[in-house]
Structure 1
Amino acid sequence: MRLLDTVLLSALQGLTEVLPVSRSGHGAVARLWLTSDEGALTLEGVLQLSTAAAAAIAASRMRPARIAAAVVPAPPMVACRRRVSPEGQAYMVRTAPDANYPEENPIDREMGYIVFEELGGKPLAVLFNFGCHNNMVGRVLSADMFGRAGEVLREKLGDVATVSLAAPCGDVSFMGLDGKKLVSDEHAAGRAIAGAILESFPKVERSEPRAVHVSSVVRRIPDRPYDPADFVYDQGRGSSPAALAFHKLRYEPEEAAVRVRGQTYCDVEIQAIAIGSVAIVTNPAELFSIFGLTIRRQSPFPVTIVSELTNGYCGYVPTRQSFKHGGYETYRTVYTSRLAKDAGDQIVDISLEVLRAVQTQQATGKPTRDDAR
């Protein structure tokens, strides 16, 4: 028997005590996996079992809790990474001919968080929502600044679960006008994120929500049609021979693939989860920051956390004006920059729609079904 088989069988046997499935049910699952072809034990199957097990174990450990949630000023270590020349060309930071080119778009300079506590005040978990590309550490696998923030929170609050949800930051970087980091490294960034939460949450009023409400929609948004002009390099990531060579290598295959595919579409899921006066609304995009800021400002909830890159992936979603300025995030590809130019506005509208839906659920006590395409 393969080692992985042995591990799975052991897990199935142990989970009999916590999963709402009979021993015979576990046996059926095991036979389904272990008597198939050698390659049939898929990652999907392992993840399904692991997810079910984690949910069941967590449910068995549930206890009454209260929350402290707020939106606070974010540490001053982020900036819009797109700089626009007087001629209207967008450049990535560090590649702009003039470091004094202005930022293209306003960005969200606040961050949200939720602290879950036992009724006696002992922290159980912290969820935080910070808007910045989480990639200060290069060329190695790392949880980066968000992971460092979790480390600081656990150091100060004890063995709590820490969850980071990336706020819309498709055009946000930790680099300033001159291309230098606005904070020294991921450790300092993590301390700054955690510090903002640790300073705020002891002062925040607690609430004890009695229910969780959820609304989700899936909308099919068209991809941008093939246009040869989308693949003309505009020097948005530099004008060196190396930059030109990289663009050719990266985007010539993309152009060929987009051209032969014809009109394509992307199913975009937007989900809202309401916990008392706090809401989390998700999207699968690398959404430009101003869209998240708009959602938060127009949300019917006092505290709204906007989480990008959630429940799928649909690539960068710039503003309409950003498409006029060109630059890296607007370069058409099969997957990483694909949606129609008004997709950001659509995601804002759908996000507000599902937020209003969960607000209605709270008011009426009636669930809604919004799985519309």
Structure 2
Amino acid sequence: MYSSLRFRLHLAAALVGSLSLFFGSVTVVAETPTKLLRAGAFAIDITPTKFPVSSAGSMTHRMADKAHDPLHARCLVMDNGQTTIALVTCDSCMIPREIYDAAKQRASEATGIETDHILCSATHTHTAVTATPTFQSIVQDDYLEFLTQRIADGIVQAHSQLEPARVGWAIGNNPRQVFNRRWFLRPGNSLADPFDRGTDKVRMNPAANSKSLLQPAGPIDPQVPVLAVQAIDGRPIAMWANYSLHYVGGVPANSLSADYFGEFARQFSRSIDADDTKPAFVAAMTNGTSGDINNINFFEGAARQQPFEQIRLVAADVAASALVAYQRIEYLDWVPLKMRETEIELGVRRPDAEELARAEELIAEAGPGPWRDRRLIYANETLDLAKYPETVHVKLQAIRIGELGIVSSPCETFVETGLAIKKHSPLKPTFTIELANGYNGYLPTAEQHTWGGYETWRAKSSYLSADAEPLVRQTLLDLLEQVSQ
């Protein structure tokens, strides 16, 4: 029996030896999955191809017959092998949810990126094509399909350029260009409102360096968060910055312009010698929480600049601050990517019967518009708001890129909300991209609502219920908790 077993063992050994001679030696190694981060970016031109066009950002309708500088949808796609996300920021005042939803669906069908893993936002330049009805601006309907397709095409192109990459982030700081625009005035100064209520306690954009000024009604956020992506060989792919500044302005009424957002991108690219990279480097400035912030130094005042000059000065200063942060970045070869999206239902401040009757009477006495009288403009807004539903659904998102957090808001969000989110977020640092995935007007805090002022005056630009802000803020913090796990 023993000899028989020994024979079988020799036979097996001989067979293995023969197979080794035939196939060569075989080494079995347990494979460890390689974590690979890839990224691609593309800036697609969304400047209209035909003029004149309706230009947003004013209480009265205006037309632009040229573009001083190009408008873009800047797109960044990141894929860590487990999750793919896309960030898009468009040179537009505001864009309705329907356009974003359609663009995301088209991009998803072409790339496989899930629609709830795409964040699209507007910069809030007040000199872009009108895509959303506010006040007396007329939507440029023949531009909407073009805009939708270009956003989708930009995401698809960025996705097609995915390559091995590294990512990092840092926080810059620039308190010189942001000022709270809502002010308490000294006693005895009148605070008129278009509804003749006489209950306002603050004024938006009062006269700078005036004896009537008492103190700002809120803080500022000077942070300049910077997210950067580079190729494995160090070539820059993209840089996404964030700053809580409404816009700059100083653009002639007949011109389109990306405002300081576009100029920032150009100046930053030059500052790192990235104008001629292949594929092209993409820099973007997203709008933070700037619903009550602008670029006017109310404390001291400032001389009026020539058209586009203040844009250039602000862009240069903020780009320099972003560069300082950019140079501090430590890049990582791979990071977790997580993204969550949800919808919440918010109330709408609709006019009551008495308010509606007053508005109808004012319009009947004045005759058909357009109007320049503020009381008439808001009377017409009241008639429009009477047609709104009692509630609206808004889309909110949170993103984790390593230990960096990003949340979205579809509103012109007050800086207090952004600061609260930064303070309580489980991810450090965190920043908010506003005017994202739709447009739902201003989002004052409950306290700011009690103080009144332009940002609270009921209109298509400010219609959410006074309790909307805490609901939005808490939902975003909840989403951050989810992605931080």
Q: Normalized against structure 1, the TM-score is what?
A: 0.75
Specify the alignment match of 1:280 in structure 2.
406
The answer to whether the aligner puts 1:320 opposite 2:446 as a matched pair is yes
Match of 1:89 among 187, 197, 201: 201
The answer to whether the aligner puts 1:169 opposite 2:290 as a matched pair is yes
Kept in 2, the 8 Å contact 1:84–1:325? The answer is: no
Q: Distance in 2 between matches of 1:231 and 1:79?
A: 38
The answer to whether the aligner puts 1:125 opposite 2:245 as a matched pair is no
Give the drift of 1:192. Answer: 0.9
Give the drift of 1:49. Answer: 4.8
The one-letter code matched in structure 1 to 2:348 is D
The answer to whether the aligner puts 1:305 opposite 2:417 as a matched pair is no
Give the drift of 1:341. Answer: 0.6
Relative distance call for 1:250 and 1:64 in structure 2 (3 A) is same
Kept in 2, the 8 Å contact 1:316–1:337? The answer is: yes
Specify the alignment match of 1:25 in structure 2.
none
Match of 2:262 among 147, 152, 158: 147
Give the drift of 1:70. Answer: 1.6
Give the drift of 1:151. Answer: 1.0
Match of 1:253 among 359, 380, 383: 380
Partner SS for 2:256: coil
Relative distance call for 1:129 and 1:230 in structure 2 (3 A) is farther
The answer to whether the aligner puts 1:60 opposite 2:160 as a matched pair is yes
Q: Distance in 1 between matches of 2:422 and 2:379?
A: 38
Q: Distance in 2 between matches of 1:78 and 1:182?
A: 17
Give the drift of 1:231. Answer: 11
Q: Distance in 1 between matches of 2:416 and 2:441?
A: 16
Give the drift of 1:57. Answer: 3.0
The answer to whether the aligner puts 1:156 opposite 2:271 as a matched pair is yes
Kept in 2, the 8 Å contact 1:288–1:319? The answer is: yes
* More off after superposition, 224-233 vs 271-280: 224-233
The one-letter code matched in structure 1 to 2:435 is L
What RMSD, in angstroms, separates the aligned Cα atoms of the two structures? Answer: 3.0
More helix by share: 1
Partner SS for 2:380: helix
Q: Distance in 1 between matches of 2:143 and 2:302?
A: 38
Relative distance call for 1:181 and 1:213 in structure 2 (3 A) is farther
Alignment: residue pair count: 312
Partner SS for 2:340: strand
Q: Distance in 2 between matches of 1:230 and 1:319?
A: 26
Identity score, percent? 25
Q: Distance in 2 between matches of 1:143 and 1:281?
A: 23
Write out per-residue CA displacement over residues 100-138 of structure 1, whole angstroms, 9 at most, x where no aligned residue: 320001121212111111223221111010111113233
Kept in 1, the 8 Å contact 2:180–2:293? The answer is: yes
The one-letter code matched in structure 2 to 1:91 is R
Kept in 1, the 8 Å contact 2:178–2:221? The answer is: no
Match of 1:215 among 334, 340, 350: 340
The one-letter code matched in structure 1 to 2:449 is F
Partner SS for 1:64: strand
Give the drift of 1:246. Answer: 2.4
Partner SS for 1:101: strand
Kept in 2, the 8 Å contact 1:219–1:268? The answer is: yes
Give the drift of 1:98. Answer: 3.7
Q: How do 1:1-373 and structure 2 match up within 5 A?
A: 46=146, 49-86=149-186, 89-95=201-207, 98-138=211-251, 139=253, 140-157=255-272, 158-159=274-275, 160-177=281-298, 180-181=301-302, 185-227=310-352, 246-258=373-385, 260-261=386-387, 264-333=390-459, 335-360=460-485
Specify the alignment match of 1:34 in structure 2.
none
Kept in 1, the 8 Å contact 2:183–2:206? The answer is: no
Give the drift of 1:305. Answer: 2.1
Q: Distance in 1 between matches of 2:300 and 2:427?
A: 37
The one-letter code matched in structure 1 to 2:347 is P
Partner SS for 2:264: helix
Partner SS for 1:134: coil
Q: Distance in 1 between matches of 2:173 and 2:356?
A: 37
Write out per-residue CA displacement over residues 234-288 of structure 1, whole angstroms, 9 at most, x where no aligned residue: xxxxxxxxxx962122111122333x43752221111112111112210100011
Kept in 2, the 8 Å contact 1:77–1:182? The answer is: no
* More off after superposition, 133-142 vs 146-155: 133-142
Kept in 1, the 8 Å contact 2:226–2:239? The answer is: yes
The one-letter code matched in structure 2 to 1:257 is D
Kept in 2, the 8 Å contact 1:94–1:179? The answer is: no
In the alignment, structure 1 segments of 5+ residues that lack a partner are 5-18, 22-40, 234-243, 361-373
Relative distance call for 1:231 and 1:193 in structure 2 (3 A) is farther
